[in-house]
Structures are given as structure tokens and as C-alpha cells.
Structure 1
Amino acid sequence: MATIDRQATTLALAHALSAAERGLAVIPLSRTKLPALRSPHRDDPTAPLCHGECGRFGHGVYDASIDPLRIRELFAAAPWATGYGIACGLDPHHLIGIDLDTKSGTDSSAALRELALRHLFTIPETVVVLTPSGGRHVWLSGPPDVVVPNSAGRLAPGIDIRGAGGYLVGPGSRTEHGAYSTAPGTAHLAPAACPPSLLQLLLPPPRTGRHATPASAGQHGQGLVQFVLAAHEGQRNTRLFWAACRAYENGLGPDLTESLVEAAIHTGLTEREARSTITSASRMTRHRP
């Protein structure tokens, strides 16, 4: 059994490195499809919010990288890993995953076809990953100035969306239920651009109320603020951190900070929590290669 596990880990690492060569940031996953490395702060309830600033592994999708050396280090720290996750929403692909599930007797493929007919879009030729349960993951690329959130069943029953802050199980991964693989004829493709009318369906409805965004932040800044405002409990810190990272990467951090803080407070975070998260994002983007 140990030999099989080592082989699975070696194969997962090889697939992960191949994905990274295509610009897809990856993390090691366990057989349960969860990040293979647990949080280094899990036993310290007083530890401040950390997205990797501590320098240790175990921060889930925030560990994701395209750097081969870092990826090898991640897998070396998780020799039990048998798969890898691909972070969504990051440069250069801004990956969006359409997860067509087969559980609970739903026909998610038919639901997607119905949506396509109703909203006049077609799914372009793109990467499709087959899951062990018979489902499919359709890979699409989003525009750099639009933030697509994760959702489960909001688009239609059986259709989950993997967006910013989420990840997709990469092809070649082995799990408790079997292996993930690319559909025939799609492995060589790049993620195709998401059709505009489908993209609109993936975005959360705007919240009511006025939340001013500085004119200097532009449309992208407004989108980041709306992304934070759309957060539900359990997503607030993650969404704020992601939005703040994108703001600093695009040179909008100082201009957008107060608007992001205001939006975060509106979702239920305290001002102290919001500013701490934004400060963490600022530090991480300064040190990111």
C-alpha cells in the first residue's frame, strides 16, 4: 500500500508541475480532495488571521504557486498527497470552474443546456475534466477585472461554481473514489473565455445601499468592493483578503482601502479584523514573486 501511495504522490507532483508550466497555480491535495497540509495555527485559537505571512505551509489555496521549487517543497511536506488542486481566479487564466455534478439524481448537464438556450450562449471548446462520480468540470477563463465568487447550486441544481478563493481538483489526481482525467480531445486546450451572458449569471446580485468607491479606483475597484459586499458568513475574511490582494497587485490598494474596510464592516467584520486582513494582503503581494 505504501508503494502505491508513493507512486500516486509522484504522479500527482508530475501532473502539478505540468499544470504550473501552463500558468496554473497548484497545491497538494489528500485523497479526500482537501488540502493535504493542515493549518499550522489549528491548535492556537488566539492566533491572528494568517494567509501564509507566517512563512509556513498549510494555508490552503493561499499556498498555491506556479514556482516549481515551491511546489516540490509543498509535496515534500505532504508525502501522503495523491492529487493537486488548481487555484481559481488567478493570473493569467482567471480560471472559472463549472462543476456539473451527478449526485442526488440531478441532470446538471441538461440544466446547463437549458440555461444556454434561455440566455443565448454556447459553451466553447475548452478543457473538460471527468470526475470519478461521472461528473464534469468545465474550465473557463474570466476577464481580469471581474471577480467570480464560488457558489453551490445557485445557478441550477447540481451546478457548482469554483471561482476566486476556490480550487479545482486537477486531472491526474487520485482520490478515495477514483481518478480525475481530462475528457478525450481537451487536454491540449487552454481554458476558453467565459461567454458574457454566462458570466453575468455567475456574478452575485448587487447589494442595496451606497458604498462609495474612489473614482481613482475605477470599475475594477468597484467590482472588488462588490465582491466583498456579496460575502456570506464563513466567506468574509477570505473574500476581503482576495479582493485586497487584487487591489494591491493592480496599484489600487491605498485608494481602495477605506472602501474595502467599509464593505467588510457591512458584511459583519469588525474594523480591526478588516484592517488586519488588508494589511496581510499588502504584505503578501509585496513578497510575492
Structure 2
Amino acid sequence: MATTHRQAPATPALTHALSAAAHGLPVFPLSPGKQPAVRSPHRDDPGRATCRGECGRPGHGVHDATTDPAAVRALFAAAPRATGYGIACGRDPYHLIGIDLDRSSPLEPASAVELRQLALQQLFAVPDTVTVLTPSGGRHLWLAGPPATAVPNSAGRLAPGVDVRGAGGYLVGPGSVTARGAYRLLPGTGRLPPARCPDALLRLLAPAPAPAPAPRPTGHPASGQGLLHFVLAAREGQRNTRLFWAACRACEHDLGPAFLDALADAAVRTGLPAPEARATIASATRLTTPARRA
């Protein structure tokens, strides 16, 4: 990316961006509206809308992100009204994955409860990691992904109120000031590196390509009966996890809403409360069906 030698004046946004870049995080300037602050060089040329910086000029949003301090200064010089900075996800060295938890309840983000329930169902722990508090009362969790896995951006697919920032996306960096307020580090997390993304969570974020669809089963095949027996055999402490697994398999094989109702009834017979059974099946449907139809 070609940049000028013009130096940006020292501003809080630039200072924070340079600090992030020094820690290996690719950055670029943001406006108070959290949008890229450098105007596109192709704004009057629709034919170049697909350019991702190949032209050598700044103004390509997240594709401008860099760790080179001279290039960071040049980007901020081209955006004197920038009040924040973005951090590109999916790039070396951390291949950052951002888990965006929506607006808080008085005690914690409601979406954090959804994430915790998902972690219990899928048997992974949400690790201690860099956490950024947002002006709306939500929070961003930073996780490190593997180089060979491209995690896509998504909104609400993982769980209600939980968005994901992956390859091609960006997070607003701590120290940024936007029209709604400031982004700041949760005390005690700034000293942490981005924690490694748990394998079970990574499989949900970047599911393997679906195999070729099998012939649609009719009625309740033997595999469906096996799923029912699997749920009915659950003991205390296994009920939710077994129901979630069985519901995922039922969705993958298109066993239909009536069979999912039968699974819920089976779980209730083992002692699982009916509202919890319905919520678990809804979560399994939400996670499995989009991946299968993609």
C-alpha cells in the first residue's frame, strides 16, 4: 500500500493504534461512526469497487490495516478526524476471532448467558482473554484462531445476541472514542494475550463442509429410534448435553419437527424441565440447520 510521508499529529486514537500495532495487531483509523475513516479512492469509479488495495492507495477499510508504524501514521494523516481505530481479524500473528456479546443486563451481557449455556452444551470453557467493554454495555472477547482456518463473520448464528468477527472483519480497538462513547479494556485483561479458541467452539464457528445430502428419510427410521433411546437413557448431569447432541443429529437428517417434539418429550421424561428442553432443541436447530443448508 502506497502511503505519503506526511506525519499525523499525535492524538489519543493514533497513540492507541500505534500501541496495538507494536503488539502485532494490524490497525487502521475509524470515524466516530465506527466506519473506515480514510475515504475510498474509488468512490467515483464504481468499476473499481472490488479493489482491496491492489491500486496501492489507502482507503480500502480493513484491507489497509497494518502493523508498520510509519504506515499507521500515514493512514491517520489521511484521516485527521479519526477518533478510533479498527483491528483486522483473521490476520497474523493471532488470526484474531472476535466474540461480540450484545448489550448488558444490569449484571452482565444477556448474550454472555447464552454463550455460557452453549459452552456447557458443547463441553468447552470460555477462556480468560483480552476483553473490551463497549459503550452500549456489551463486550468483545478476543480469541486466537489457527492459521489454516478462516472463521467467517456472522450475526446471531452462534447464539442470540452473539456476533462473530472473523476473516475480513474488524473490532473497534480499546481507547477508541465513538459517537456512543469510549471502548475500554476490562480491568485485568489488558495484560493477557488473546486466548486460544477452544476446539469445540472453533468447530461451531467454522463448521466443516457438509457432506453430500443423503436421501431424505421418511417416518421414524431406526436411527431416529436410536436417538430417542439415547435421550431416554440420560442420567442427571447428562440430560441437556444428550438432548442437544440428538437434536443436532435429527436436524442433520431432516427428521422433522414432529420428531424434535418427540425428543423434547423424551428429555422431559428423564427430568429435564420442558422450557429447558425446548430451548436446547431451538439452539441445536439454529446451529445445525444453517450449516447444513449453506
CA distance in 1, matches of 2:26, 2:193: 14
Match of 1:250 in 2: none
Please say if residues 99 and 160 of structure 1, whose CA atoms lie closer than 8 Å, have aligned partners that are also in contact. yes
Q: Aligned letter for 2:145?
A: G
CA RMSD between the two structures = 2.2
Task: Name the % identity.
Answer: 65
Change in Cα spacing, 1:114 to 1:37, as seen in structure 2 (3 Å) is same
Match of 1:161 in 2: 164
Match of 1:52 in 2: 53
Match of 1:109 in 2: 112
Please say if residues 102 and 161 of structure 2, whose CA atoms lie closer than 8 Å, have aligned partners that are also in contact. yes
Please say if residues 129 and 136 of structure 1, whose CA atoms lie closer than 8 Å, have aligned partners that are also in contact. yes
Q: Which consecutive unaligned segments of at least 5 residues does structure 1 have?
A: 1-5, 211-266, 268-289
Please say if residues 104 and 137 of structure 2, whose CA atoms lie closer than 8 Å, have aligned partners that are also in contact. no
Counting only pairs closer than 5 Å after superposition, residues 212-223 of structure 1 correspond to structure 2 as: none
CA distance in 2, matches of 1:46, 1:34: 22
1:136 aligns with 2:139: yes
Match of 2:91 in 1: 90
Give deviations 1:21-43, integer Å, cap 9, x for gaps: 11000010000001101211111
CA distance in 2, matches of 1:55, 1:46: 16
CA distance in 2, matches of 1:70, 1:180: 23
> What's the secondary structure of 1:13's corresponding residue?
helix
Q: Aligned letter for 2:27?
A: V
Give deviations 1:165-188, integer Å, cap 9, x for gaps: 000000000000000000010011
Give deviations 1:173-205, integer Å, cap 9, x for gaps: 000000000001001111000011011110145
Change in Cα spacing, 1:107 to 1:90, as seen in structure 2 (3 Å) is same
Q: Aligned letter for 2:92?
A: D
> What's the secondary structure of 2:28's corresponding residue?
strand
CA distance in 2, matches of 1:154, 1:122: 19
TM-score normalised by L of structure 1: 0.67
CA distance in 2, matches of 1:49, 1:113: 39
Q: Aligned letter for 1:152?
A: A
Give the count of matched residue pairs.
205
Q: Aligned letter for 1:154?
A: R
Q: Aligned letter for 1:159?
A: V
1:195 aligns with 2:195: no
TM-score normalised by L of structure 2: 0.66
More helix by share: 1
Larger radius of gyration: 2
Match of 1:64 in 2: 65
Q: Aligned letter for 2:84?
A: G
> What's the secondary structure of 2:90's corresponding residue?
coil
CA distance in 2, matches of 1:124, 1:47: 42
